[in-house]
């Protein structure tokens, strides 16, 4: 049964009961006995108000059914992954609250589905790159083992062959560590704590960075700035961004400063081309022109992907704000959180 039909029938029956009861009680109050004549009068009275009851029932049924249809249409859009927001006001407070709840759920689902799609995309790229990067050293190691078993490697050549095999194993080990770090960076719901950022950099981060006399580390963070962040995640983010900058600076500086709760990393290293501004956060992407994995100076291209994931997990977004011949700026900006 449609909601409109149900409401019309319910309201009509209720109206008939109320009007009949009212008519009967009227005759009781005035003290007249209820005889056949009175019953006819009561029936005529009820029939006379029946059109009014029917009209009011139809009006209320139509109005309420439209509200239910509105809710149904909104839920159907969410089912079809159309996560639109509707801020229209409703006279019925419960309908208005339901609409607000749907807005909130729509926003949450859009965020979660988008996040899952991005993770699925990243994992797909990860598996594709893994299959290539793992297969190559395994093939090399297997080739050396077969040559040793077939006696094709002399005793004089054996140390060199073993050295090559060790290098390939080290490559696999480094790749495995980076991949596990990348997968771990996708985990959410880590404990956050309040961090006084200036002293965190001075006392816990800068001492861990590689010493380089040609690069000056500048801390211009507001000394009163306190942020909520998982400390281990923040340390990994800062080390990754700053170390990447140091690698691309011949002589210059890396400066960390803040605007509100947003954190910025500025350096005067090599320019990052605009076409790479988004790609650098993709797993296994590297700006190195060399196809030879042994000549890679930027690792496996997972560093900034890890940074992006860790930032998101802490309600921040990492991006390349700008890059030119003079300076490059990475930003760590606080995301706006919708609170229900």
Contacts of 296 (CB under 8 A, 6+ apart): 286, 288, 290
**253, 128: one domain:** no
Residue 96 has pLDDT above 50, yes or no: yes
311 pLDDT exceeds 70?
Answer: yes
Query: Mean pLDDT over all residues of the chain?
Result: 81
Q: Which domain holds residue 140?
A: 87-184
With 70 as the cut, is the pLDDT of residue 38 above it? no
Q: Residues 180, 216: one domain?
A: no
As a whole number, mean pLDDT of residues 200-218 equals: 92
pTM assigned to the model: 0.61
Q: Kindly state the percentage of the chain with pLDDT values over 90.
A: 27
Mean pLDDT to the nearest integer, 148-160: 88
- CA dihedral for 233, 235, 238, 239, sign (positive or negative): negative
> Could you tell me the CATH number of the domain that includes residue 100?
1.10.287.130
Judgement on whether residues 162 and 231 belong to the same structural domain of the protein:
no
Quote the pLDDT of residue 67: 74
Is residue 203 domain-shared with residue 339, that is, in the same domain?
Answer: yes
Mean local confidence (pLDDT), 152-171: 89
Q: Which of 61, 82, 103 is the last residue of a domain?
A: 82
Based on the fold, state whether residues 196 and 340 are members of the same structural domain: yes
Do 106 and 145 belong together in one domain?
yes
The C-alpha atoms of residue 141 and residue 120 are separated, in whole angstroms, by 31
pLDDT digits (tens, 9 = 90+) for 256-299: 999 999 999 999 988 888 888 888 888 777 766 554 555 555 56
Domain-ending residue, one of 184, 214, 243: 184
Q: Which of residues 154, 184, 214 is at a domain's end?
A: 184
In this predicted structure, what is the pLDDT of residue 9?
A: 73
How many Å apart are CA 93 and CA 331, to the nearest integer?
A: 42
Cα separation of 300 and 55, whole Å?
73
Are residues 274 and 309 located together in one domain of the fold?
yes
Q: Are strands 262-267 and 328-334 parallel, antiparallel or unpaired?
A: antiparallel
Q: DSSP string covering 47-58, please?
A: HHHHHHHHHHHH
* Count of domains forming the chain: 3
pLDDT at residue number 340: 43
Same domain, 54 and 71: yes
The alpha helices in the chain, defined as continuous H runs, are 3-30, 36-79, 93-149, 158-184, 197-200, 231-247, 303-313
Placement of tokens 């993709």 in the chain: 282
Those residues with Cβ within 8 angstroms of residue 275's Cβ, 6 or more apart along the chain or in another chain: none
């Amino acid at each position: 049964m449609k909601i409109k039909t149900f409401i019309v029938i319910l309201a009509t029956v209720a109206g008939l009961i109320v009007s009949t009861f009212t008519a009967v009680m009227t005759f009781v109050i005035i003290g007249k006995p209820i005889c056949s004549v009175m019953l006819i009068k009561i029936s005529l009275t009820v029939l006379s108000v029946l059109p009014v009851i029917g009209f009011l029932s139809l009006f209320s049924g139509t109005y309420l059914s439209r509200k239910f249809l509105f809710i149904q249409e909104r839920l159907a859009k969410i089912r079809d992954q159309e996560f639109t927001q509707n801020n229209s006001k409703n006279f019925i407070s419960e309908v208005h609250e339901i609409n607000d709840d749907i807005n909130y759920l729509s926003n949450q689902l859009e965020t979660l589905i988008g996040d899952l799609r991005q993770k699925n995309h990243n994992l797909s790229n990860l598996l594709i790159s893994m299959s290539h990067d793992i297969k190559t050293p395994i093939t090399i190691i297997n080739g050396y083992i077969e040559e040793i078993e077939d006696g094709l490697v002399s005793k004089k050549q054996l140390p060199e062959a073993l050295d090559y095999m060790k290098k390939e194993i080290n490559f696999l080990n480094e790749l495995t560590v980076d991949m596990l770090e990348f997968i771990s960076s996708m985990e959410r719901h880590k404990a956050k704590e309040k961090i006084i950022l200036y002293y965190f950099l001075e006392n816990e981060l800068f001492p861990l960075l590689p010493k380089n006399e040609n690069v000056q580390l500048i801390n211009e963070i507001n000394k009163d700035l306190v942020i909520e962040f998982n400390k281990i995640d923040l340390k990994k983010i800062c080390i990754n961004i700053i170390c990447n900058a140091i690698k691309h600076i011949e002589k210059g500086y890396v400066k960390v400063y803040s605007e509100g709760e947003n954190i910025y990393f500025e350096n005067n290293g090599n320019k990052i081309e605009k076409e790479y501004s988004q790609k650098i956060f993709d797993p296994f992407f590297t700006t190195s022109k060399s196809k030879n994995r042994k000549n890679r100076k930027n690792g496996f291209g997972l560093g900034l992907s890890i940074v992006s994931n860790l930032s998101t997990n802490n309600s921040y977004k990492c991006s390349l704000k700008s890059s030119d011949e003079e300076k490059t700026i990475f930003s760590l900006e606080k995301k706006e959180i919708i609170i229900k």
